[in-house]
Amino acid sequence: MSLEGVPPGTRALVVTVSDGVAAGVRQDDAGQALERWLADLGFAVERTTVPDDRRAIEGGLRTGAEAPALVVTTGGTGLTPRDVTPQATLAVIDYEVPGLAEAMRAAGRAKTPMADLSRGVVGVLARSLIVNVPGSPRAALQSIEALGPPLRHALETLAGPFDHGAAGAGTARPDLPNPDLNGA
Protein backbone atom coordinates (compact mmCIF):
# COMPACT_ATOMS: atom_id res chain seq x y z
CA MET A 1 0.00 0.00 0.00
CA SER A 2 1.23 3.44 -0.83
CA LEU A 3 0.59 5.91 1.94
CA GLU A 4 3.88 7.75 1.67
CA GLY A 5 3.40 11.34 2.61
CA VAL A 6 1.04 10.79 5.53
CA PRO A 7 2.47 13.27 8.02
CA PRO A 8 4.07 11.42 10.95
CA GLY A 9 1.77 11.45 13.93
CA THR A 10 -1.46 11.69 11.94
CA ARG A 11 -4.08 10.50 14.40
CA ALA A 12 -5.81 7.14 13.92
CA LEU A 13 -8.32 5.47 16.20
CA VAL A 14 -9.14 1.77 15.95
CA VAL A 15 -12.56 0.95 17.41
CA THR A 16 -13.09 -2.77 17.94
CA VAL A 17 -16.79 -3.64 17.95
CA SER A 18 -17.21 -6.92 19.82
CA ASP A 19 -19.22 -8.12 22.78
CA GLY A 20 -16.55 -10.74 23.55
CA VAL A 21 -13.61 -8.34 23.41
CA ALA A 22 -15.51 -5.71 25.40
CA ALA A 23 -16.29 -8.34 28.07
CA GLY A 24 -12.66 -9.47 28.18
CA VAL A 25 -13.38 -13.02 27.04
CA ARG A 26 -11.90 -12.71 23.51
CA GLN A 27 -8.59 -11.37 22.29
CA ASP A 28 -8.67 -8.36 19.97
CA ASP A 29 -6.64 -9.82 17.09
CA ALA A 30 -8.05 -7.55 14.38
CA GLY A 31 -7.62 -4.40 16.47
CA GLN A 32 -4.01 -5.35 17.25
CA ALA A 33 -3.27 -6.08 13.58
CA LEU A 34 -4.74 -2.74 12.48
CA GLU A 35 -2.83 -0.88 15.20
CA ARG A 36 0.49 -2.41 14.09
CA TRP A 37 -0.18 -1.74 10.40
CA LEU A 38 -1.20 1.89 10.97
CA ALA A 39 1.70 2.54 13.37
CA ASP A 40 4.13 1.15 10.79
CA LEU A 41 2.81 3.77 8.37
CA GLY A 42 3.50 6.57 10.86
CA PHE A 43 0.04 7.05 12.37
CA ALA A 44 -0.30 7.87 16.08
CA VAL A 45 -2.69 5.05 16.92
CA GLU A 46 -5.17 4.79 19.77
CA ARG A 47 -7.52 1.87 20.36
CA THR A 48 -10.82 1.41 22.08
CA THR A 49 -13.42 -1.33 22.33
CA VAL A 50 -17.20 -1.12 22.41
CA PRO A 51 -19.83 -3.87 22.55
CA ASP A 52 -22.10 -4.71 19.62
CA ASP A 53 -24.54 -2.03 20.70
CA ARG A 54 -25.63 0.72 18.34
CA ARG A 55 -25.60 3.52 20.94
CA ALA A 56 -22.17 2.48 22.23
CA ILE A 57 -20.79 2.39 18.68
CA GLU A 58 -22.29 5.80 17.85
CA GLY A 59 -20.76 7.25 21.02
CA GLY A 60 -17.35 5.79 20.22
CA LEU A 61 -17.47 7.22 16.71
CA ARG A 62 -18.52 10.68 17.86
CA THR A 63 -15.78 10.75 20.49
CA GLY A 64 -13.20 9.48 18.00
CA ALA A 65 -14.08 12.15 15.47
CA GLU A 66 -13.81 15.08 17.90
CA ALA A 67 -10.35 15.79 16.46
CA PRO A 68 -9.42 15.18 12.81
CA ALA A 69 -8.55 11.54 12.44
CA LEU A 70 -8.82 8.29 10.62
CA VAL A 71 -11.31 6.19 12.58
CA VAL A 72 -11.30 2.50 11.67
CA THR A 73 -13.95 0.20 13.12
CA THR A 74 -13.40 -3.53 13.05
CA GLY A 75 -16.29 -5.91 13.51
CA GLY A 76 -20.04 -5.75 13.24
CA THR A 77 -20.26 -5.54 9.44
CA GLY A 78 -21.86 -8.92 8.78
CA LEU A 79 -25.43 -10.14 8.61
CA THR A 80 -26.29 -11.18 12.17
CA PRO A 81 -28.76 -9.16 14.23
CA ARG A 82 -25.87 -7.93 16.46
CA ASP A 83 -23.88 -6.62 13.45
CA VAL A 84 -24.93 -2.97 13.68
CA THR A 85 -21.70 -1.08 12.96
CA PRO A 86 -22.88 0.16 9.53
CA GLN A 87 -26.18 1.39 10.95
CA ALA A 88 -24.38 3.22 13.77
CA THR A 89 -21.92 4.74 11.31
CA LEU A 90 -24.67 5.92 8.97
CA ALA A 91 -26.44 7.51 11.95
CA VAL A 92 -23.46 9.72 12.84
CA ILE A 93 -21.67 10.59 9.59
CA ASP A 94 -22.24 13.78 7.66
CA TYR A 95 -21.92 11.99 4.31
CA GLU A 96 -20.78 8.71 2.76
CA VAL A 97 -17.73 8.04 0.59
CA PRO A 98 -19.15 5.02 -1.26
CA GLY A 99 -16.23 4.56 -3.65
CA LEU A 100 -13.92 3.62 -0.78
CA ALA A 101 -16.37 1.03 0.56
CA GLU A 102 -16.71 -0.35 -2.96
CA ALA A 103 -12.91 -0.56 -3.28
CA MET A 104 -12.71 -2.61 -0.09
CA ARG A 105 -15.38 -5.04 -1.26
CA ALA A 106 -13.77 -5.33 -4.71
CA ALA A 107 -10.39 -6.20 -3.16
CA GLY A 108 -12.03 -8.74 -0.88
CA ARG A 109 -13.97 -10.23 -3.78
CA ALA A 110 -10.63 -11.07 -5.42
CA LYS A 111 -9.97 -13.34 -2.42
CA THR A 112 -13.47 -14.65 -1.68
CA PRO A 113 -16.98 -14.07 -3.01
CA MET A 114 -18.12 -13.78 0.62
CA ALA A 115 -16.60 -10.28 0.73
CA ASP A 116 -19.80 -9.03 -0.89
CA LEU A 117 -21.60 -9.86 2.35
CA SER A 118 -19.69 -7.15 4.20
CA ARG A 119 -21.92 -4.14 4.82
CA GLY A 120 -19.08 -1.84 5.84
CA VAL A 121 -19.44 1.83 4.96
CA VAL A 122 -17.01 4.73 4.72
CA GLY A 123 -18.03 8.23 5.61
CA VAL A 124 -17.03 11.60 6.98
CA LEU A 125 -17.91 13.03 10.36
CA ALA A 126 -16.67 16.59 10.76
CA ARG A 127 -13.02 16.32 9.62
CA SER A 128 -12.59 12.60 10.31
CA LEU A 129 -12.85 9.69 7.92
CA ILE A 130 -14.66 6.68 9.37
CA VAL A 131 -13.96 3.29 7.76
CA ASN A 132 -15.80 0.06 8.68
CA VAL A 133 -13.77 -3.13 8.14
CA PRO A 134 -14.63 -6.74 9.00
CA GLY A 135 -13.72 -8.31 12.32
CA SER A 136 -11.26 -10.94 11.16
CA PRO A 137 -7.63 -9.80 11.16
CA ARG A 138 -6.98 -10.91 7.58
CA ALA A 139 -10.14 -9.32 6.16
CA ALA A 140 -9.60 -6.14 8.20
CA LEU A 141 -6.08 -5.67 6.83
CA GLN A 142 -7.09 -6.57 3.27
CA SER A 143 -9.88 -4.01 3.45
CA ILE A 144 -7.81 -1.11 4.78
CA GLU A 145 -4.90 -1.91 2.44
CA ALA A 146 -7.30 -1.76 -0.51
CA LEU A 147 -7.81 1.96 0.05
CA GLY A 148 -4.27 2.84 -1.08
CA PRO A 149 -3.50 6.39 -2.28
CA PRO A 150 -7.15 7.52 -2.13
CA LEU A 151 -7.00 7.09 1.65
CA ARG A 152 -4.00 9.43 1.92
CA HIS A 153 -5.71 11.98 -0.33
CA ALA A 154 -8.95 11.78 1.66
CA LEU A 155 -7.08 12.45 4.91
CA GLU A 156 -5.18 15.36 3.36
CA THR A 157 -8.39 16.85 2.00
CA LEU A 158 -10.21 16.55 5.33
CA ALA A 159 -7.28 18.09 7.20
CA GLY A 160 -7.84 21.29 5.23
CA PRO A 161 -7.46 24.11 4.49
CA PHE A 162 -10.24 23.26 1.98
CA ASP A 163 -8.87 25.61 -0.66
CA HIS A 164 -9.59 24.47 -4.20
CA GLY A 165 -7.73 27.34 -5.82
CA ALA A 166 -10.27 30.15 -5.71
CA ALA A 167 -10.39 32.77 -3.00
CA GLY A 168 -13.07 31.78 -0.50
CA ALA A 169 -13.94 28.58 -2.38
CA GLY A 170 -14.00 25.11 -0.96
CA THR A 171 -14.82 25.65 2.72
CA ALA A 172 -16.76 22.45 3.24
CA ARG A 173 -17.74 23.08 6.87
CA PRO A 174 -17.68 26.76 7.88
CA ASP A 175 -18.70 25.75 11.43
CA LEU A 176 -15.36 23.93 11.93
CA PRO A 177 -12.03 25.53 12.76
CA ASN A 178 -10.09 26.44 9.64
CA PRO A 179 -6.58 27.79 10.19
CA ASP A 180 -6.81 29.93 7.05
CA LEU A 181 -9.94 31.71 8.25
CA ASN A 182 -9.35 32.09 12.00
CA GLY A 183 -7.24 35.11 12.71
CA ALA A 184 -4.56 34.57 10.08
- Domain annotation for the chain: domains and CATH numbers: 11-159 (3.40.980.10)
How confident is the model over 70-80, as pLDDT tens digits? 999 999 999 99
Q: How confident is the model at residue 4 (pLDDT cuts 50, 70, 90)?
A: low
Cα torsion 54, 58, 61, 65 to 10°: value is 170
In this predicted structure, what is the pLDDT of residue 5?
Answer: 59
Whole-model pTM above 0.75? yes
Q: Are the CB atoms for 75 and 30 separated by under 8 Å?
A: yes
**Percent of the chain scoring above 90 in pLDDT:** 77
What are the start-end ranges of the H helices in 41-79?
A: 54-64
- Residue 163 contacts by C-beta under 8 Å, 6 or more apart in sequence? 169, 170, 180
